[in-house]
């Protein structure tokens, strides 16, 4: 966010009385800020770090009903998520949410027999209204091996194929926030809430502007905590205390070097203990995960070696011919699920993903649980409870309307070709890089893509767009969340780090010392991401 825009947001934050203040800028807070604005309510949202820096940039990136939740009997949750999936894919964010075939191979000795998986997939297909060609219930071993020659043959009994969808979780969250902002919500990242107080009927938040170090006060009629895994920590700011509401469960993912696990579709893998995981294609790269481990740490971003080894073991069991090893991993991320704390103890995988809204004080609500996929439906439910009667037919329709990037005309093949010709690059390359910007790709291009080194010139334009339009304040925001260069960039990820720090510094008025600090912050995150890995011989020599 440019300095004048942040100044403006800070001024509004301190001078207005908002209908709703939201703590937490992940997908949950973002969805509620958008929904409130659509209903004509004034909304303020503060985020302690960068938007989407918590769980909402560290998920499996699936927009799905979750086949496995059917097994847990969560039919309502699955149906709602599937409806949201279709809305996102076809209307709200087709540039960010794309359908993806999933193969589910079954082996002798697997926890779920073949008939049960086929029944589950059939029901899943029916709940989502899947087209005939999107479902294949009776795949024989040779069909599966034809689709993926690296698949383990030994004990393969058959399987099924169904359709789900994949997204970029951080960009989806940012897109929802941008829509909220365009509709009048006041949003501030790097502004943690530090204290709560009451002023008559109003809720007062003391926030800190991490950019200037100054504190400021915000007043609102109602308050929503959407702090994900940090919920209990934030509730700890209340003077009279509060019983814990969340149970945290962490999950790791590993990004694989381009070409090491070439996939056209996602595949269900099983851990050595039979747990389900996924291998998901991502451009020419792919990623594998996830784990499900109870934790007490809300951030929990450090990947433990034991989790990385567990995932690699699952990939090795499923795709032995790929011979995947530690040094094939180019990126890693670990997120913490903010699950609603159950009444009695259950293992992490059994805890419901359903959202829960609790009014902990008068006019102060806390949301826990939920999924990325169902953020919009969840936001509707939350607003219906916090502001009953605020819904209107117009707001309900607007809630289902396109997000930024899908609000204009979709870019045609012809336009991609023409733009590529003008920029002196290949249309396929341009599309791969700018597809996630949807109809805003042209705006990104106008920010300075020219002939020469495509990677450099596109990265530069994307950086400028991130600063101007997507609230980026630090270099790491661009490298990790506005793009996923840090996760999937491999050997080229940090090639232009210093030049990018200089460009961002020029736009945001950074000193030389600050530029260097920004470079170091990206390097630190890169090192932390792979700190679980034993140094590879090339790296020792480097
Ligand atoms: C491993 C894993 C895989 C997942 N995969 C999927 C999937 O494939 N599909 C799916 O639909 N869902 C998935 N989920 C679930 C989904 O990612 C989460 O439900 C969702 O991202 C939670 O969003 P949130 O906004 O509630 O929390 P968060 O994204 O964590 O946001 C909470 C925010 O609150 C901020 N905050 C904390 N303290 C303060 C403070 N004092 N002041 C201001 N702000 C504060 C934090 O910085 C954080 O950004 C997955 C989750 C995990 C962990």
List pLDDT tens digits, range 403-420: 999 999 888 889 888 888
CATH code of domain 96-165+247-343: 3.30.9.10
Q: Could you say which DSSP state residue 64 is in?
A: S
Residue pointed to by tokens 């980026």: 472
**Residue 480: pLDDT over 90:** yes
Give per-residue pLDDT as tens, 73-84: 788 889 999 999
Give per-residue pLDDT as tens, 24-48: 999 999 999 999 999 999 999 999 9
Ligand 1 site, residue 22, Cβ cutoff 6 A: no
Ligand 1 site, residue 336, Cβ cutoff 6 A: yes
- pLDDT of 131: 86
**Residue 1: pLDDT over 70:** no
**Residue 454: pLDDT over 80:** no
Question: In the structure, how many helices (H) and strands (E) does the chain have?
Answer: 20, 18
d(CA 189, CA 48): 6
429 pLDDT tier (thresholds 50, 70, 90): confident
Mean pLDDT of the chain: 92
The H-or-E segment that residue 493 falls in is: none
Do residues 34 and 180 touch, judged by C-beta distance below 8 A?
yes
Q: How far is ligand 1, taken at its centre, from the CA of residue 189, in Å?
A: 15
Give per-residue pLDDT as tens, 94-119: 999 999 999 999 999 999 999 999 99
d(CA 384, CA 453): 51
E-assigned strand segments in 201-342: 202-209, 214-225, 246-256, 266-270, 276-282, 285-289, 293-295, 329-340
Ligand 1 site, residue 248, Cβ cutoff 6 A: no
- pLDDT of 346: 46
Do residues 348 and 246 touch, judged by C-beta distance below 8 A?
no
Q: How far is ligand 1, taken at its centre, from the CA of residue 32, in Å?
A: 14
Which pairing describes strands 214-225 and 364-368: parallel, antiparallel, or unpaired?
A: parallel
- pLDDT of 540: 44
Two structure tokens written together for 283: 């451009």
Ligand 1 site, residue 290, Cβ cutoff 6 A: yes
Q: How far is ligand 1, taken at its centre, from the CA of residue 55, in Å?
A: 3
- pLDDT of 490: 87
**DSSP-assigned states of every residue in 13-56:** HHH-EEEEEEE--SHHHHHHHHHHHHTT--EEEE-SSSTT-SGG
Ligand 1 site, residue 23, Cβ cutoff 6 A: yes
- pLDDT of 315: 97
d(CA 117, CA 104): 8
**Residue 148: pLDDT over 50:** yes
Ligand 1 site, residue 335, Cβ cutoff 6 A: yes
Going from N- to C-terminal start, the domains of the chain cover: 3-56+170-245+351-399, 96-165+247-343, 413-529
422 pLDDT tier (thresholds 50, 70, 90): confident
Give per-residue pLDDT as tens, 208-233: 999 999 999 999 999 999 999 999 99
Give per-residue pLDDT as tens, 299-353: 999 999 999 999 999 999 999 999 999 999 999 999 999 888 875 444 444 444 5
**Residue 424: pLDDT over 70:** yes
Give per-residue pLDDT as tens, 253-308: 999 999 999 999 999 999 889 999 999 999 889 999 999 999 999 999 999 999 99
Q: How far is ligand 1, taken at its centre, from the CA of residue 473, in Å?
A: 20
- pLDDT of 183: 97
pTM (2 d.p.): 0.96
Backbone angles phi, psi at 283, to 5 degrees: 60, -130
**Residue 123: pLDDT over 90:** yes
- pLDDT of 272: 85
Burial of 255 (0-12, 13-18, 19+ CB in 10 A): buried
- pLDDT of 348: 47
Cis peptide before 529 (omega within 30 of 0): no
Give per-residue pLDDT as tens, 48-66: 999 999 999 999 999 999 8
Of the ranges 189-203, 383-397, 448-462, which one carries the lowest mean pLDDT score? 448-462
Two structure tokens written together for 480: 């990790």
Please give the share of the chain, as a percent, with pLDDT higher than 90: 80
Q: How far is ligand 1, taken at its centre, from the CA of residue 56, in Å?
A: 4
Ligand 1 site, residue 434, Cβ cutoff 6 A: no
Q: How far is ligand 1, taken at its centre, from the CA of residue 240, in Å?
A: 26
d(CA 203, CA 46): 14
d(CA 487, CA 217): 37
Superfamily of domain 3-56+170-245+351-399: FAD/NAD(P)-binding domain (3.50.50.60)
Domain 413-529 fold is: Helicase, Ruva Protein; domain 3 (1.10.8)
Ligand 1 site, residue 376, Cβ cutoff 6 A: no
Burial of 452 (0-12, 13-18, 19+ CB in 10 A): exposed
User: Ligand 1 pocket test: which of 29, 44, 59 has the largest number of ligand atoms within 8 Å of its C-beta?
Assistant: 59
């Amino acid at each position: 966010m440019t300095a004048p825009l942040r100044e403006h947001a800070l001024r509004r934050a301190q001078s207005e009385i908002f209908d709703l203040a939201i703590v937490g800028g992940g997908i949950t807070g973002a969805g509620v800020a958008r929904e409130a604005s659509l209903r004509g309510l004034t909304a303020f949202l503060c985020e302690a770090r960068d938007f989407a820096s918590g769980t909402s940039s560290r998920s499996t990136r699936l927009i799905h009903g979750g086949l496995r939740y059917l097994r847990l009997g969560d039919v309502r949750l699955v149906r709602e998520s599937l409806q949201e999936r279709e809305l996102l894919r076809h209307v709200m964010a087709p540039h960010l949410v794309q359908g993806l075939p999933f193969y589910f191979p079954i082996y002798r000795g697997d926890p779920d027999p073949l008939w049960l998986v086929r029944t589950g997939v059939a029901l899943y297909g029916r709940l989502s209204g899947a087209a005939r060609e999107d479902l294949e219930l009776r795949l024989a071993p040779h069909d599966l091996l034809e689709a993926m020659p690296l698949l383990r043959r030994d004990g393969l009994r058959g399987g099924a194929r169904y359709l789900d969808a994949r997204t970029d979780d951080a960009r989806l969250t940012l897109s929802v926030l941008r829509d909220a902002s365009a509709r009048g919500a006041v949003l501030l990242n790097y502004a943690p809430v530090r204290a709560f107080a009451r002023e008559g009927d109003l809720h007062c938040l003391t926030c800190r502007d991490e950019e200037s170090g100054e504190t400021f006060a915000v007043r609102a009629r109602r308050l929503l905590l959407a702090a994900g895994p940090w919920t209990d920590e934030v509730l700890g700011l209340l003077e009279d205390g509060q019983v814990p509401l969340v149970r945290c469960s962490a999950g790791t993912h590993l990004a694989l070097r381009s070409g090491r696990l070439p996939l056209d579709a996602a595949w269900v893998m099983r851990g050595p203990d039979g747990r389900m995981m996924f291998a998901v294609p991502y451009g020419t790269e792919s990623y594998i995960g996830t784990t499900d481990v109870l934790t007490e740490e809300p951030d929990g971003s450090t990947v433990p070696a034991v989790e990385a080894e567990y995932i690699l073991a699952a990939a090795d069991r499923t795709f032995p011919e790929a011979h995947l090893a530690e040094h094939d991993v180019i990126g890693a991320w670990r997120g913490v699920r903010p699950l609603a704390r159950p009444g009695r103890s259950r293992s992490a995988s059994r805890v419901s993903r359903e959202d829960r809204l609790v009014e902990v004080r008068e006019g102060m609500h806390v949301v826990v649980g939920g999924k990325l996929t169902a953020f919009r439906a969840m936001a509707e439910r939350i607003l219906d409870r916090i502001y009953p009667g605020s819904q209107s037919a117009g707001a309900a329709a607007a809630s289902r309307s396109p997000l930024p990037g899908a609000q204009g005309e979709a870019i045609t093949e012809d336009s991609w070709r023409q733009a590529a010709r003008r920029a002196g690059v290949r249309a396929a390359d341009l599309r791969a890089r700018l597809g996630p910007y949807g109809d805003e790709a042209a705006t990104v291009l106008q920010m300075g893509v020219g002939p020469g080194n495509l990677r450099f010139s596109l990265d530069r334009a994307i950086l400028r767009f991130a600063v101007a339009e997507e609230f980026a304040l630090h270099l790491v925001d661009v490298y990790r969340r506005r793009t996923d260069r840090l996760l999937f960039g491999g050997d080229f990820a940090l090639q232009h780090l210093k030049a990018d720090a200089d460009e961002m510094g020029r736009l945001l008025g950074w000193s030389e010392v600050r530029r260097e600090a920004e470079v170091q912050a990206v390097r630190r995150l890169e090192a932390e991401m792979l700190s679980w890995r034993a140094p590879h011989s090339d790296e020792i020599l480097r």
